Structure 1
Amino acid sequence: DEFDWNKTLQFISNRNIYTSWEIEKDDVWERSYKIKNFLKDLPTYEVLYKRDVNKIETDQCIRCKNGVEDWDHLWICETNELTIKEVLELSISKFEESLLKEEKHEKIKFLQNINFSFLKILYEKSEVLLGKEKYWELIRGVYNRKFNTLSKDKDEKEVINELWSFCFNALKKEFWNKRCNEVNEIEQSLGIKKLDKKVRKFIDRDMKCGDKSIEIKEKN
């Protein structure tokens, strides 16, 4: 199998951070994101439009206005400040900086030995996601078994896992979080409030249909 499903499921369910009996607010939000992201079901305009969400009149990207805002689009939208590859390469540098602050010199030494191999794996063509690189697997939270081949040492494997998670979170912050902030600003300028989007259009239609049926009964 191309993927390490044990690590993938542990990561998506946040078992790498919280134990099964712990329930934290951050855990709930993070787990919700990871699951929806894995299923490519984040609330993009395509998803909201299909769900008939109130005030959403199009599935087009509200930021670039140049195509449907589906899951794939949000990572490559022309309004993004950085590319996926740029974020990944910056992430390795930032991860090394975080290790330096913690004075984990052995981990830094190992990181410097494998950082190019780590990126090489990510830039390879995915054997499952046709036409896409392996970093698209990482974006969805799926752990490729090739990362397990970078070292047999337990501590070094931990560094690889930490780097992989660091990259995942960096991509989320750079693309999804920024996208949400930008979309909120645009929607506010258009007079669309968060509460508006909690109502579906069909509820309004059902109410109108209900009113009409009452009128018909009254006439009869």
Structure 2
Amino acid sequence: MENIMKVDGSNKNRNNGIGWVIMYKDNIIGKGNFKIEGKYEVWELELIAIIMGLLVIKKRAKVNVYTDSQVVLDLWHKLIIDNRMWSTRRIWNVKSVGLWRWLKFLIKKFEWDLVFYKVKSHSGNLGNDWADNLSKSALMAKEDKNLIIIKLNQKIDWEYNLYWKKELIKDAPREFYKLYNQWRYKAELLSLDMCKYYRLNNSMEKVDWHRSIKIIMKAFNDENTDKNNFDNAYNVKNFLEILPVATLLNKRNPELYESGRCIRCNYTTETWTHIWICDQAETSIIQIINAAFENLKNKLDEIDFRINYNFHASLLYILNEKSKVVFNGRIFHEAIKGIVNERLFLEIEDKVFKDNIASFVEDIMIWPENSCGVSDARDLMNGK
């Protein structure tokens, strides 16, 4: 006897529901739904629905499982069919690994012959639509004596659990540790006295810190070479505004550097913000921005990404506005540091566009190494 099982999962506002339907030929011979407590993604709920539905299947039965989750399908082939990624190092990259261990154990115990298929969601498929309706009814149910509510982290015998502040971490542990370390490093950085302005104004301006840190620490994550070591030192000192400008050199050695005036215009005090806007600079900041914009436009044209208004003018306007995270600076000063201000995304919620804006910011950041009157960034680093 060949059974067909179709499953679905739904979630909304931390309410979760699963539904499954078992069919023989065109007849529904079993169905069920449950409300699931906890925070889950839809693909995890579909996996739970598969496990719960299989529990009513007889031993050694052949079951064709239909799911609309590509994630479940991919992991099924990697973990079960190919039997890969079970080493400690690799399995820690898999989210909700306990569910997969549970499924693998049940398959071995009950000797099911399972075949997984991909089905398009909301395509008018009878069994799939039934499962969808069942999962949504469980999701929306509030008080129903006939509805079973399951809290999985209390019911499953996990091989290991990872908790953080008494909260079960279902993410892949290695990925969670990476994120945790990023949060910790950011917190430690903001706690420094020289980052006081960032700390006090962090909530006033939305910054994409994930993309910003990737730009600033790019050389650090590359190969260990003299150039990359220098680039990393330059980027960090540039971010912290401790490049050897005249005012800083005057404070360090007033006998050698008698004045804090700009060595180019000899008029204004040379601060970190001034060196990028000095009117005696070899290259103006507007030239740098325009050159970076041409690169951005070419990249967007290559992928046929169109914006139906003059976004060049919009970016220029935003970049020239006063910054809330750089003291006495503008948003283009943030870009020179490698900071990606979320306003530059122009309210466009597209990952590809956001990545290209981050690349635009990086182009602005790396220009000053050989511009703004500084013939070589090494000269500035060495105080020449």
Band of TM-score, shorter chain: 0.5 to 0.7
Partner of 2:336: 139
The 3 A distance-change label for structure 1 pair 59 and 67 is same
TM-score by length of structure 2 reads 0.39
Matched, 1:126 2:323: yes
Partner of 1:161: 358
Q: Secondary structure at the match of 2:322?
A: coil
Matched, 1:32 2:233: yes
Paired residues for 1:146-185 under 5 Å: 146-175=343-372, 177-178=374-375
| Conservation of the 8 A alpha-carbon contact between 1:95 and 1:166 | no
Partner of 2:221: 19
The 3 A distance-change label for structure 1 pair 59 and 179 is farther
Partner of 1:77: 278
| Conservation of the 8 A alpha-carbon contact between 1:88 and 1:171 | no
State the shift of 1:87 in Å.
2.3
| Conservation of the 8 A alpha-carbon contact between 2:345 and 2:353 | no
Matched, 1:66 2:267: yes
Paired residues for 1:183-198 under 5 Å: none
Q: Secondary structure at the match of 1:71?
A: coil
> Which amino acid is the alignment partner of residue 249 of structure 2?
L
> Distance between the aligned counterparts of 1:82 and 1:95, measured in 2?
19
| Conservation of the 8 A alpha-carbon contact between 1:87 and 1:170 | yes
User: Which structure shows the bigger proportion of residues in helix conformation?
Assistant: 1
> Distance between the aligned counterparts of 2:244 and 2:308, measured in 1?
35
> Distance between the aligned counterparts of 2:231 and 2:308, measured in 1?
26
User: Which structure shows the bigger proportion of residues in strand conformation?
Assistant: 2
Structure 1 gaps, min length 5: 184-193, 199-220
State the shift of 1:42 in Å.
0.4
Partner of 1:88: 289
Matched, 1:41 2:212: no
The 3 A distance-change label for structure 1 pair 111 and 159 is farther
| Conservation of the 8 A alpha-carbon contact between 2:292 and 2:363 | yes
RMSD between aligned alpha carbons?
Answer: 3.5
State the shift of 1:159 in Å.
1.5
The 3 A distance-change label for structure 1 pair 123 and 66 is closer
State the shift of 1:41 in Å.
0.6
TM-score by length of structure 1 reads 0.64
Q: Secondary structure at the match of 1:10?
A: helix
Higher relative contact order (CA 8 A, sep 6+): 1
The worse-fitting range, judged by mean Cα deviation, of 120-129 and 65-74 is 120-129
State the shift of 1:36 in Å.
0.9
> Distance between the aligned counterparts of 1:155 and 1:4, measured in 2?
14
Partner of 1:213: none
> Distance between the aligned counterparts of 1:110 and 1:124, measured in 2?
22
The 3 A distance-change label for structure 1 pair 55 and 140 is same
The 3 A distance-change label for structure 1 pair 111 and 162 is farther
Residues paired across the two proteins, number: 179
Q: Secondary structure at the match of 1:91?
A: helix
| Conservation of the 8 A alpha-carbon contact between 2:216 and 2:236 | yes
| Conservation of the 8 A alpha-carbon contact between 2:296 and 2:357 | no
Structure 2 gaps, min length 5: 1-202
| Conservation of the 8 A alpha-carbon contact between 1:107 and 1:156 | no
> Which amino acid is the alignment partner of residue 264 of structure 2?
R
> Distance between the aligned counterparts of 2:327 and 2:242, measured in 1?
19
> Which amino acid is the alignment partner of residue 209 of structure 2?
W
State the shift of 1:70 in Å.
2.0
Q: Secondary structure at the match of 1:178?
A: coil
1:33-81 CA-partner distances (Å, limit 9, x unpaired): 1111111110112222221188434322222222332212212223113
> Which amino acid is the alignment partner of residue 90 of structure 1?
A
